[in-house]
Structure 1
Amino acid sequence: MCAVTAADQFSSNDGRPLPERLRGRALELFHSAWSPTAASMRRWALASVVANAGIAVTGAAVRLTGSGLGCPSWPRCTPGSFVPAPHDAHAPLNMAIEFGNRLLSFLVLAVAVGCVVAAFRLVPRRRALTRLALIQPAGVALQAVWGGLVVRSALNPVTVSVHFLVSIGMIAGAFALYARSGEGDAPARRLVHRDIRTLGFVLVTAVFVLLVAGVVVTGTGPHSGDEAASRFNFDIETMARLHADTVWVVLGLTFALLFALHVTDVPGRARRGALVLLGVELAQGVIGYVQYFLAVPAFLVGLHVLGSTLVWIAALRVVFLMRSRGPLGSLTPAPNEVDAVGV
């Protein structure tokens, strides 16, 4: 029997040492942006969607753990230090949670830079992709500055709410980049009747209003992020009912869209997209009502924030599925990409 060496433990299945494997993966990642293909461009865009949705959820987790002012200053974590340092007013765990979320911003920035490099290096270069990609680092910079305002305002609910809504806007930009990177540059052609597409836009608007109502409820209720944080001076019961009413409006519009797509001759992917949206909305509604009757426990609130981002992404996806710009590489519509309703 031969002894297992440390080198063996750090070897991969193909016999390469772990450091070599990591270098190989890093080079692959670099080349996916520096020498991009249509597929790698789309993967970078998808990574941006995931990263922006992820940091929106982790930002909520910071608040839900009472770590909103774990780093009480900005851009430093504590006065005189960019990293957590002993501070009488904050527990080390809270400081670590808030500092960890700040570090995640650099991951989002790295993905954003990857999107920009891939978009500008793609051959042939596509103007739509370069413009959408540039939104990502600009949004990260805006979020960083606004995050400083959130800290300096001691988690004022207005600044916290805007912080989340900017993330929602960045998710929309990232998803648009993801959708456009998987299709051609032909003029957009509707695959559904124009009234159905208008209904889709109305639905997305209603979902955004629902998100705004949600952040107002959050800014009125518990889980402020720190004992020193202020809250909206609204009645929480009234705000919760208003939020619930908006949920029913969104569900009604979704049912109407599903019915319209079912009774017309439209591509199956649009119907499936609307069905996925309905499923996510129903799951989100269940979580919302359960958290309300259980006096909004922190874990369910975090799950609800995750559900909010998924509802938003699913709603955006439905709108993009109801039109086509032809296959990749096309500048004019393909013969089979005609309007499904002939208008």
Structure 2
Amino acid sequence: MTADQPQSRAGETRPPTLADRLRDRALVLFHSAWSPTPGSVRRWALAGVVVNAGITVTGAAVRLTGSGLGCPTWPRCTPGSFVPAPHDAHSAANMAIEFGNRLLSFLVLAVAVAIVVAVLRVTPRRAVLVRLAWIQPIGVGVQALWGGVVVRSVLNPVTVSVHFLLSIGMIVAAFALYARSGEGDAPPRRLVHRDIRTLGFVLVAAVLVLLVAGVVTTGTGPHSGDEAASRFGFDIETVVRLHTDAVWIVLGLTFALLFALHVTDSPGRARRGALILLGVELAQGVIGYVQYFLAVPAVLVGLHVFGAVLVWIATLRVVYLMRSRGPAGASPTGQDELDVVGV
């Protein structure tokens, strides 16, 4: 029996309780950030990607359940209360959903703070990771303030769209941190032909346009988040058609990238990454067409938002797989070929 094992009054070892397990897990998490290794920094960076992707999807769920104004004021939930209180205009369920999403922001903030602590305390400290890490808590603050704008504008579709696109930007920074934490600081070396890498950047731009078209379509169609919310005044059929055109452009670019990677015998990781991206896009396209023909049910819209986040992450991953900065711990030499948020 070791000294740290719990004992009963009779001096016998007793099974650890749930509180013991939670305490031990909390201590492990604390030490992984306070006394980090390069591996634990990378795990915290991955946690940053997960929580930013997660709150993007749960934010959409708030709107899809009609809970966008479940907490009708900001920063308070209801007039005079930071927590849900009985309110005639909103049901208890809507208030709980919106308030729960606000609470998730604190989880994202906690992970962001842990990331900053880890990259500041890891040895050796890497400046690029520090810069990327600070984006996380700053971004959470910006998102929280913009959330207040969304509420005070009564879910104006412009403010709601910007809220989503800010989340997309946070995912970029989080994924850049995750990718850079697993490699060195040498100048980026292309693993594919220059034109193929350029095609990858064109694909990123096309997916971003697709996401913008998606939020405009969402802001024009149903599921506004509340009966009082306004909508874009565009013709829904025209907006959907433009969004569909953007989908086909992205699919065409992805297929072209995958084909180019195969015929040039590019590294297997890059080819597999492009293949995964194509698979995610095809699944996303199926969901999109099904939701359209079923009159846009909320559940499928939620899956479509989740799919959009996965497409974005898979696209970013492909771009990073087409170049190398050497193994983690390698000494940097020379000048960077490209250094946009650590690419």
Fold match by TM threshold 0.5? yes
Match of 1:21 in 2: 21
Match of 2:46 in 1: 46
- Once the two structures are overlaid, the 10-residue window that deviates more, 324-333 or 212-221, is 324-333
Match of 1:81 in 2: 81
Match of 2:243 in 1: 243
Equivalent-residue separation in structure 1 for 2:36 and 2:220 (angstroms): 46
Match of 2:188 in 1: 188
What displacement does 1:265 show? Answer: 2.7
Amino acid across the alignment from 2:156:
N
Pairs aligned (count) = 323
Equivalences for residues 306-325 of structure 1 within 5 A: 306-325=306-325
Match of 2:203 in 1: 203
Amino acid across the alignment from 2:264:
T
Equivalent-residue separation in structure 1 for 2:274 and 2:106 (angstroms): 34
Equivalent-residue separation in structure 1 for 2:30 and 2:16 (angstroms): 20
Match of 1:297 in 2: 297
Match of 1:329 in 2: 329
The answer to whether 1:157 aligns with 2:157 is yes
- TM-score, normalised via structure 2 length: 0.93
Encode CA deviations 1:273-306: one digit per residue, 9 max, x unaligned. 0000000000000000000000000000000000
Equivalent-residue separation in structure 1 for 2:134 and 2:302 (angstroms): 30
The answer to whether 1:283 aligns with 2:287 is no
Amino acid across the alignment from 2:96:
A
Equivalent-residue separation in structure 1 for 2:237 and 2:300 (angstroms): 18
What displacement does 1:23 show? Answer: 1.1
Match of 2:230 in 1: 230
Superposed CA RMSD: 1.3
Equivalent-residue separation in structure 2 for 1:42 and 1:320 (angstroms): 15
Encode CA deviations 1:107-133: one digit per residue, 9 max, x unaligned. 000000011000101100000100000
What displacement does 1:18 show? Answer: 2.2
Amino acid across the alignment from 1:81:
S
Equivalent-residue separation in structure 2 for 1:318 and 1:57 (angstroms): 22
SS of residue paired to 1:50: helix
Amino acid across the alignment from 2:271:
R
Equivalent-residue separation in structure 1 for 2:194 and 2:300 (angstroms): 39
What percent of counterpart residues are identical?
80
- TM-score, normalised via structure 1 length: 0.93
Match of 2:4 in 1: none
Q: List gaps (5 residues or longer) in structure 2.
A: 1-6, 334-343
Structure 1 residues 128 and 14 mapped into 2: Cα distance closer, same or farther (>3 Å)?
A: farther
Encode CA deviations 1:19-71: one digit per residue, 9 max, x unaligned. 22211111100000001111110110000101000000000000000000000
Equivalent-residue separation in structure 2 for 1:140 and 1:29 (angstroms): 21
Match of 2:64 in 1: 64
The answer to whether 1:98 aligns with 2:101 is no
Equivalent-residue separation in structure 2 for 1:265 and 1:185 (angstroms): 26
User: After TM superposition, which residue ranges in structure 1, 4 or more long, deviate above 4 angstroms?
Assistant: none
Match of 2:138 in 1: 138
Amino acid across the alignment from 2:309:
T
The answer to whether 1:123 aligns with 2:133 is no
Encode CA deviations 1:163-217: one digit per residue, 9 max, x unaligned. 0000000001000000000001111110001100000000000000000000000
